[in-house]
């Protein structure tokens, strides 16, 4: 295993390793405005949701690694503490990438990247009309993490309004994860596309306790045909199996195949019933 001491690496080397390792990352496509009314639009992948009450996102316009300069986004929110976080989907990813070019201050990236400005209802910066979801935010605080190249600036953005396109909603007016076609940032030039084909669910009821690996049948623990992920699905079940099930020392390969199929279909109760009836 390669082990690296961060104190012995350059900022460029740290960036190379960490941006590949800590991924995929959601993209904050932030629109801001300065005191003269100049609009800026720029993407940031140091971004996530950090609080529900109050609803707060945090993103970080880090100092540029190559020359230690700051982003126009950061300069804008220091004078006009407002922004819109526009969620990026696959249909706009190439335009989003174009907007990340280091255009001179005062350049409108909406125009450069071919996006449409949509007036916000609560804040001054405009929304990206093409974005499936737009979050109007008030900047509560900017936390500077350092003055060296690569240092982050944490922008605490309080969400005041959320706008959601009808085409990504289900019949209950909830966001349908399969319809968003989100993209996420990886290392280097790599991105990830979140399509229905690569989405999956992991059952984890918040109000129940999984029985744990220590309660699994001996045959399940010992099986080389079941992955640890599959064993964890069984261990996440909240009903303690009968004590005699824990003593099962062997299961046929055909039984294991049936268990694997049930788990692949997210049918944990069915998988446990297969185990029970194998006695």
Ordered structural domains, the chain, with CATH? 6-198 (2.30.110.10), 213-276 (no CATH)
Return d(Cα 57, Cα 54) in angstroms, integer.
Answer: 10
DSSP helix/strand/coil, 77: helix
Q: Are 75 and 8 in contact (CB under 8 A)?
A: no
Q: Are 72 and 80 in contact (CB under 8 A)?
A: no
Return d(Cα 241, Cα 246) in angstroms, integer.
Answer: 8
User: Would you state the structure tokens that stand for residue 3, as one six-digit string?
Assistant: 């082990």
List, for residues 163-221, the tens digit of each pLDDT value. Answer: 999 999 999 999 999 999 999 999 999 999 999 999 988 876 657 788 889 989 999 99
Name the E strands within the chain.
28-33, 39-44, 47-52, 55-59, 82-86, 117-118, 127-128, 133-144, 153-164, 182-185, 191-194
**Banded model confidence at residue 56, pLDDT cuts 50, 70, 90:** very high
pTM of the model: 0.87
Q: Are 213 and 182 in contact (CB under 8 A)?
A: no
Query: In Å, what is the CA distance from 57 to each residue of 13, 82, 136?
Result: 28, 13, 11
Return d(Cα 81, Cα 124) in angstroms, integer.
Answer: 10
Average pLDDT along the chain = 93
List, for residues 117-174, the tens digit of each pLDDT value. Answer: 999 999 999 999 999 999 999 999 999 999 998 888 999 999 999 999 999 999 999 9
């Amino acid at each position: 295993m390669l082990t690296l001491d961060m104190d012995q690496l350059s900022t460029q080397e740290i960036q190379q390793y960490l941006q590949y390792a800590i991924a995929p990352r959601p993209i904050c496509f932030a629109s801001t405005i300065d005191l003269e009314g100049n609009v800026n639009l720029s993407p940031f992948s140091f971004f996530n949701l950090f609080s529900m009450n109050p609803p707060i996102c945090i993103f970080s316009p880090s100092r540029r690694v190559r020359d230690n300069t700051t982003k126009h986004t950061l300069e804008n929110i220091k004078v006009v503490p407002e922004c819109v976080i526009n969620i990026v989907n696959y249909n706009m990813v190439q335009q989003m990438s174009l907007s990340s070019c280091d255009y001179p201050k005062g350049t409108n990236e909406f125009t450069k990247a071919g996006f449409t400005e949509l007036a916000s209802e609560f804040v001054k910066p405009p929304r990206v009309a093409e974005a499936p979801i737009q979050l109007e935010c008030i900047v509560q605080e900017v936390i500077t993490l350092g003055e060296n190249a690569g240092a982050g600036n944490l922008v605490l953005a309080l969400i005041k309004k959320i706008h959601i396109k009808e085409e990504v909603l289900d019949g209950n007016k909830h966001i349908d994860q399969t319809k968003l076609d989100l993209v996420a940032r990886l290392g280097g030039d790599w991105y990830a596309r979140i399509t229905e084909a690569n989405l999956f669910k992991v059952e984890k009821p918040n109000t129940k306790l999984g029985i744990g690996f220590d309660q699994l049948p001996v045959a399940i623990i010992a099986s080389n045909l079941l992955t640890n992920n599959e064993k964890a699905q069984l261990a996440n079940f909240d009903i303690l199996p009968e004590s005699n099930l824990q003593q099962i020392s062997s299961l046929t390969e055909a039984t294991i195949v049936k268990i694997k199929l049930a788990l692949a279909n997210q049918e944990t109760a069915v998988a446990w019933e297969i185990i029970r009836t194998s006695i």
